Copies of this chain bind each other. A is one copy, B any other.
Amino acid sequence: MKELEKLLNFRPEIRVLDATLRDGGLVNNFYFTDEFVHSLYLTNLKAGVDYMEFGYKASREMFDESKFGKWKFCKDEDIRAIVGDNDTDMKIAVMADVGRCDYKNDIIKKSESPIDMIRVATYINTIPGAIDMIQNAVSKGYETTCNLMAISNAQEKDVEVALDLIAQTDVKVLYIVDSYGHIYPEQLVRIIDRFMNAAAKHGKEIGIHAHNNQQLAFANTIEAVGDGVNYLDATYNMMGRGAGNCAMELLLGFLKNPKYNVYPVYRFVQDRMAKLKEEGIVWGYDLQYLMTGILNQHPRTAIQFTEDGRKDYADFYCELIGRD
């Protein structure tokens, strides 16, 4: 809650990343139509979004292509079919998970790809794998981020060591990922402090990717803005795994940089996102996610609860507590 005096102004270094296809893809197995994706691309351009994440670069050895939409694999030609040469100010990002990406083969030279940024997602126990992926992507010409997942479950000393290792690479952004939607703003301040220390030493930026289990995704994101975090993830209508993410419509309503424009976001939510919900795709805040969030657990049990159409929240809570 710093920078009070700057609330009416803006920090030009801030970058907004649209993660709708990637985190939202976890909800619908990446089955977005090309028309949807193209419309989202055009909307992001109008809205002034800085980065659009198209999905994962998942290994086609490990995952059956027939069981997922194409944005789990983000082939360069599929992205190019949407964006052409992307002759715009907006950059294209994809995510690559440590241990689930054939990055040496599937990520080609940047000069031949429409992709600008590789976001390497890692848990605290696979840092060397992440570093190898980061350096591989950097050597091919990409911007990179390192997204430290499930940060609320990691020991503080481990995070310190991990950040020190990662910050010595050529990575551009160190991302705080509250995968479980567990973190309160007060705790986030402390985590940001730790990231800031590593970032300042090595000239890195910091990013935030929040989940809405406790209706704090937007609150934590703007807390982070106040604390100097410059890379902000959001999704349209909060579409994302489980309780979803920070809403693009909330975030662009908050940011004061005139390059951002919230109106096209409203229109896209109205015309496109509402339709997904009508088609039965379910995401967003609900009690089962609040519970796994408070308990600092992976949302997979809550997602199963949702998929099973269960409504016995109180019994689910007893199951969660009983599992401890």
Contact of A269 among B220, B254, B287 (CB under 8 A): B287
Contact B250 A290 (CB under 8 A): yes
Q: For the complex, is A63 an interface residue (Cβ under 8 Å from B)?
A: no
Across the two chains, which residue of chain B brings its CB closest to A227? B1
Q: How long is the Cα–Cα vector from A313 to B237 in the complex, in angstroms? A: 12
Partner-contacting stretch, out of A28-36, A112-120, A180-188: A180-188
Docked CA distance A216–B226 (Å): 15
Within 8 A of B (CB), among A181-236: 184-187, 189-190, 212, 214-220, 222-223, 226
B185 touches A250 (CB 8 A): no
Whether the Cβ atoms of B314 and A189 lie closer than 8 Å is no
Knowing A253-B294, A267-B314, say if A222 contacts B184 (CB, 8 Å).
yes
Select from chain B the residue with minimum beta-carbon distance to A189: B1
Quick check: is A266 within 8 A (CB to CB) of the other chain?
yes
Q: Which of A261-290 contact B (CB under 8 A)?
A: 263, 266-267, 269-270, 274, 287, 290
A165 within 8 A of B: no
- In the complex, the answer to whether A214 meets B253 with C-beta atoms within 8 Å is yes
Q: In the bound complex, do residue A184 and residue B216 qualify as a contact, i.e. CB atoms below 8 Å apart?
A: no
* Docked pose: A217 CA to B218 CA in angstroms: 11
- Whether a CB of chain B sits under 8 angstroms from the CB of A312 is yes
- A62 an interface residue at 8 Å Cβ cutoff? no
Inter-subunit contact A214/B312 (CB<8 Å): no
A317 contacts the other chain (Cβ, under 8 Å)?
yes
- A218: which B residues are within 8 A, CB to CB? 214-216, 219
CA gap between A247 and B313 in the complex, in Å: 15
A271 to chain B, nearest CB (A): 8
Does A140 belong to the interface (CB within 8 Å)?
no
> Which B residues lie within 8 Å of A222 (CB)?
184-186
| Residues in B whose Cβ lies below 8 Å from that of A274 | 311
> For the complex, is A7 an interface residue (Cβ under 8 Å from B)?
yes
Cβ-closest chain B residue relative to A185: B1
> How distant is the Cα of A269 from the Cα of B317 in the complex, in angstroms?
13
Bound-complex Cα distance A249 to B290 (A): 9
A294 surroundings in chain B (CB, below 8 A): 253
Of all A-B residue pairs in the complex, the 7 with the closest CB atoms, nearest first, are A219-B219, A267-B314, A270-B313, A266-B314, A253-B294, A1-B1, A215-B218
Q: A185-B222, A215-B219 are known contacts; what are 4 more A-B pairs with Cβ within 8 Å? A: A4-B190, A218-B219, A263-B314, A270-B311
The contact sample of 13 A-B pairs, CB cut-off 8 A, is: A1-B185, A3-B186, A4-B189, A4-B190, A185-B185, A214-B253, A215-B219, A215-B250, A249-B287, A249-B290, A266-B291, A266-B313, A269-B313
